Amino acid sequence: MNSRDAIQLNLDMATMVCTMYLADLDDRDLLVRPSPGCNHIAWQLGHLIANEHAMMELLKPGSMPPLPAGFAEKHTTATSRLDSASAFYSKAEYLQHYQAQRQGTIALLKGQSDADLDQPAPEKFQAYCKNRGDLFSLQGSHVLMHVGQWAVVRRNLGRAPLF
Protein backbone atom coordinates (compact mmCIF):
# COMPACT_ATOMS: atom_id res chain seq x y z
CA MET A 1 0.00 0.00 0.00
CA ASN A 2 1.25 3.49 -0.80
CA SER A 3 0.30 6.86 0.65
CA ARG A 4 -2.42 7.47 -1.96
CA ASP A 5 -4.02 4.13 -1.11
CA ALA A 6 -3.97 4.94 2.62
CA ILE A 7 -5.52 8.37 2.05
CA GLN A 8 -8.20 6.84 -0.18
CA LEU A 9 -9.05 4.31 2.55
CA ASN A 10 -9.65 7.28 4.87
CA LEU A 11 -11.84 8.97 2.25
CA ASP A 12 -13.79 5.78 1.56
CA MET A 13 -14.35 5.07 5.28
CA ALA A 14 -15.66 8.61 5.82
CA THR A 15 -18.06 8.21 2.88
CA MET A 16 -19.28 4.87 4.21
CA VAL A 17 -19.95 6.27 7.70
CA CYS A 18 -21.57 9.41 6.25
CA THR A 19 -23.98 7.48 4.04
CA MET A 20 -24.83 4.99 6.80
CA TYR A 21 -25.72 7.81 9.22
CA LEU A 22 -27.88 9.52 6.60
CA ALA A 23 -29.53 6.41 5.13
CA ASP A 24 -32.73 6.46 7.22
CA LEU A 25 -32.99 10.23 7.66
CA ASP A 26 -35.31 12.35 5.53
CA ASP A 27 -35.11 15.98 4.44
CA ARG A 28 -36.86 17.20 7.62
CA ASP A 29 -34.44 15.23 9.80
CA LEU A 30 -31.54 17.09 8.20
CA LEU A 31 -32.85 20.30 9.78
CA VAL A 32 -32.71 18.94 13.35
CA ARG A 33 -29.94 20.48 15.44
CA PRO A 34 -27.96 18.20 17.76
CA SER A 35 -28.23 20.87 20.45
CA PRO A 36 -29.35 24.51 20.55
CA GLY A 37 -26.80 26.68 18.80
CA CYS A 38 -25.29 23.78 16.85
CA ASN A 39 -25.53 23.51 13.07
CA HIS A 40 -28.06 21.12 11.56
CA ILE A 41 -27.03 18.34 9.21
CA ALA A 42 -28.21 20.11 6.04
CA TRP A 43 -25.92 23.05 6.73
CA GLN A 44 -23.07 20.75 7.76
CA LEU A 45 -23.36 18.74 4.54
CA GLY A 46 -23.22 21.91 2.47
CA HIS A 47 -20.25 23.14 4.49
CA LEU A 48 -18.40 19.86 3.92
CA ILE A 49 -19.14 19.83 0.20
CA ALA A 50 -18.25 23.49 -0.36
CA ASN A 51 -15.03 23.21 1.63
CA GLU A 52 -13.87 20.04 -0.11
CA HIS A 53 -14.50 21.71 -3.45
CA ALA A 54 -12.61 24.88 -2.47
CA MET A 55 -9.64 23.07 -0.92
CA MET A 56 -9.13 20.77 -3.89
CA GLU A 57 -9.54 23.65 -6.33
CA LEU A 58 -6.67 25.40 -4.55
CA LEU A 59 -4.47 22.39 -5.29
CA LYS A 60 -5.45 22.21 -8.96
CA PRO A 61 -7.78 24.90 -10.29
CA GLY A 62 -10.47 23.56 -12.60
CA SER A 63 -10.09 19.98 -11.40
CA MET A 64 -13.29 19.62 -9.40
CA PRO A 65 -16.84 19.14 -10.65
CA PRO A 66 -18.71 22.45 -10.55
CA LEU A 67 -21.17 23.17 -7.76
CA PRO A 68 -24.50 24.87 -8.42
CA ALA A 69 -24.32 28.66 -8.57
CA GLY A 70 -24.53 30.09 -5.05
CA PHE A 71 -23.91 26.75 -3.32
CA ALA A 72 -21.08 27.97 -1.09
CA GLU A 73 -23.02 31.13 -0.22
CA LYS A 74 -25.92 28.99 1.06
CA HIS A 75 -23.55 27.44 3.63
CA THR A 76 -21.86 30.33 5.43
CA THR A 77 -21.69 31.17 9.11
CA ALA A 78 -24.67 33.51 8.62
CA THR A 79 -26.83 30.85 6.95
CA SER A 80 -26.06 28.30 9.67
CA ARG A 81 -28.79 29.94 11.78
CA LEU A 82 -31.53 29.33 9.19
CA ASP A 83 -34.03 26.53 9.77
CA SER A 84 -36.22 26.80 6.68
CA ALA A 85 -36.08 23.85 4.30
CA SER A 86 -36.30 26.30 1.39
CA ALA A 87 -32.89 27.72 2.34
CA PHE A 88 -31.19 24.35 1.80
CA TYR A 89 -31.03 21.40 -0.56
CA SER A 90 -32.71 18.02 -0.30
CA LYS A 91 -30.86 15.01 1.09
CA ALA A 92 -30.72 13.52 -2.42
CA GLU A 93 -29.15 16.70 -3.80
CA TYR A 94 -26.60 16.87 -0.98
CA LEU A 95 -25.62 13.24 -1.54
CA GLN A 96 -25.29 13.83 -5.28
CA HIS A 97 -23.01 16.83 -4.72
CA TYR A 98 -21.06 15.02 -2.00
CA GLN A 99 -20.39 12.02 -4.26
CA ALA A 100 -19.39 14.22 -7.19
CA GLN A 101 -16.92 16.20 -5.08
CA ARG A 102 -15.54 13.06 -3.44
CA GLN A 103 -15.01 11.43 -6.85
CA GLY A 104 -13.23 14.59 -7.98
CA THR A 105 -11.00 14.49 -4.90
CA ILE A 106 -10.12 10.83 -5.49
CA ALA A 107 -9.35 11.49 -9.16
CA LEU A 108 -7.07 14.37 -8.15
CA LEU A 109 -5.44 12.21 -5.46
CA LYS A 110 -4.70 9.42 -7.95
CA GLY A 111 -2.77 11.89 -10.09
CA GLN A 112 -0.45 12.88 -7.24
CA SER A 113 3.06 11.49 -6.84
CA ASP A 114 4.67 11.02 -3.44
CA ALA A 115 6.66 14.16 -4.16
CA ASP A 116 3.42 16.05 -4.94
CA LEU A 117 1.88 14.94 -1.63
CA ASP A 118 4.99 16.13 0.21
CA GLN A 119 4.66 19.64 -1.24
CA PRO A 120 3.57 22.28 1.29
CA ALA A 121 -0.15 22.82 1.65
CA PRO A 122 -1.46 26.24 0.64
CA GLU A 123 -0.46 28.90 3.18
CA LYS A 124 -3.97 29.37 4.61
CA PHE A 125 -4.01 25.72 5.79
CA GLN A 126 -0.48 25.54 7.19
CA ALA A 127 -1.68 25.69 10.82
CA TYR A 128 -3.20 22.21 10.50
CA CYS A 129 -2.07 20.80 7.14
CA LYS A 130 1.67 20.89 6.57
CA ASN A 131 1.57 19.29 3.13
CA ARG A 132 -0.79 18.41 0.29
CA GLY A 133 -1.13 14.85 1.60
CA ASP A 134 -2.47 16.27 4.87
CA LEU A 135 -5.01 18.33 2.93
CA PHE A 136 -6.26 15.25 1.08
CA SER A 137 -6.46 13.29 4.33
CA LEU A 138 -8.38 16.13 5.97
CA GLN A 139 -11.27 15.56 3.56
CA GLY A 140 -12.06 12.24 5.26
CA SER A 141 -11.32 13.44 8.79
CA HIS A 142 -13.46 16.56 8.35
CA VAL A 143 -16.50 14.44 7.47
CA LEU A 144 -15.94 12.20 10.49
CA MET A 145 -15.70 15.25 12.79
CA HIS A 146 -19.19 16.30 11.71
CA VAL A 147 -20.69 12.81 11.68
CA GLY A 148 -20.24 12.67 15.45
CA GLN A 149 -22.89 15.39 15.69
CA TRP A 150 -25.17 13.41 13.38
CA ALA A 151 -25.04 10.51 15.84
CA VAL A 152 -26.57 12.84 18.44
CA VAL A 153 -29.30 13.92 16.00
CA ARG A 154 -30.04 10.27 15.24
CA ARG A 155 -30.39 9.47 18.95
CA ASN A 156 -32.60 12.55 19.48
CA LEU A 157 -34.83 11.24 16.67
CA GLY A 158 -35.07 7.83 18.34
CA ARG A 159 -32.79 6.00 15.89
CA ALA A 160 -30.63 3.16 17.17
CA PRO A 161 -26.87 3.71 17.33
CA LEU A 162 -25.02 2.33 14.32
CA PHE A 163 -21.64 1.70 15.94
Q: Where does the pLDDT of residue 38 fall: very low under 50, low under 70, confident under 90, or very high at 90 and above? A: very high
Q: How many domains does the chain have?
A: 1
pLDDT at 128: 94
CATH number at residue 21: 1.20.120.450
- Quick: pLDDT tens for 67-87: 999 999 999 999 999 999 999
DSSP string for 123-162: GGGTTT--BHHHHHHHHHHHHHHHHHHHHHHHHHTTPPP-
pLDDT at 163: 85
Residue 129 clears pLDDT 90, i.e. is over it: yes
Residue 14 clears pLDDT 90, i.e. is over it: yes
Query: Is 66 among the domain residues?
Result: yes
Q: Which domain holds residue 101?
A: 3-156
Helix axes 3-22, 132-156, angle to 10 degrees: 20
Mean pLDDT of the chain: 97
d(CA 52, CA 38): 21
Query: Is 123 among the domain residues?
Result: yes
pLDDT at 68: 98
Query: Is 162 among the domain residues?
Result: no
